[in-house]
Each structure stands twice: as C-alpha cells, then as structure tokens.
Amino acid sequence: MNPDNRTRWIAWLGVPMLLALALIVAAPATQAGGRGQEKVTICHIPPGNPDNAHEITVGAPAVPAHLAHGDTLGECDVEVLPDDPA
C-alpha cells in the first residue's frame, strides 16, 4: 500500500473511531443539553501554553479536533507535589 492510500485509510477509519472512542470512554462525563449534541469533558491543553491545562466541555463533534492538537479525554490529571519540608 503506498503512503497516500495509507493516509486516506487512516483518515477514513481513524476519525470516526476516535469519535466513537471518545463517546464511549467519556460517557460518564457526558451531559445532555446545548444545541442537541452530546457533551464530552476533555482536558484542554492550550497549544504553546501547557501549564494552562483545564477541563472544558465540548460538543461531541468537536472532540476529534481537540484530540488532534493534544487535548485528552476526561478530567485533567492533577500533579500532586510533596509538601515542602521547610
């Protein structure tokens, strides 16, 4: 399979599969409402500013675009730092 065909197959299969996975994995975090779309909670990691990661809720159709630029499904991981011994 040449690289162009492989890219087409990945795009053709990958986007719907990512959306389906997003809806299945994030099902506990979904809520009805807004423009009639399922809502999905994601950890939004702003490009160029990863220290400002925060949770947002988006319509299911927006999930693939967010995943494509590095956001993750569900709540943001909270890094717990040890107490300062001083």
The better pLDDT of the pair 3, 36 is held by 36
Q: Is the pLDDT of residue 2 over 70?
A: no
Does residue 64 sit within a domain? yes
Helices (runs of H) and strands (runs of E) counted in the chain: 2, 3
Q: Contact at 8 Å (CB) between 50 and 71?
A: no
Say what the pTM is: 0.52
Q: What would the mean pLDDT of 62-76 be, rounded to a whole number?
A: 93
- pLDDT computed for residue 30 by the predictor: 46
Helix/strand/coil for 52: helix
Does residue 53 sit within a domain? yes
Tallying the residues shown for the chain, one arrives at 86
The better pLDDT of the pair 5, 85 is held by 5
Q: What would the mean pLDDT of 59-72 be, rounded to a whole number?
A: 93
Q: Which domain holds residue 33?
A: 3-73
Helix/strand/coil for 32: coil
Does residue 85 sit within a domain? no
Does residue 49 sit within a domain? yes
Q: Which one, of 51, 54, 53, 55, lies nearest residue 40 by Cα?
A: 55
| Total structural domains within the chain | 1
- pLDDT computed for residue 77 by the predictor: 83
Does residue 22 sit within a domain? yes
